[in-house]
Structure 1
Amino acid sequence: MNAARADHAKPLPALTGLAGEFYRWCAQGELRFQRCEDCGRHRHVPRELCAHCASSKWVWARSSGRGMVFSWTDVVRPLHPAFAEDAPYAPVIVELDEGVRMLSRVVDCAAGELAIGMAVELVLTQVSDQVWLPYFRRSKD
Structure 2
Amino acid sequence: MTTAPPTPPDTDAVAFVAALRRLKAWSGLSYRQLERRATQAGHTLPYSTASTMLGRDRLPREQLVAAFVAACGVRADDAQAWLDARMTIACGRPPEATRTTRNRRFWQPRWALACAVVLVTALLGGASAAGAFTEDVEVEETQTSLHLPRS
Tell me if TM exceeds 0.5.
no
Name whichever structure is richer in strand by fraction.
1
Which has the bigger relative contact order, CA under 8 A and spacing at least 6?
1
Q: Name the TM-score, length of structure 2 as normaliser.
A: 0.22
TM-score, normalising length: structure 1: 0.23
Greater share of helix: 2
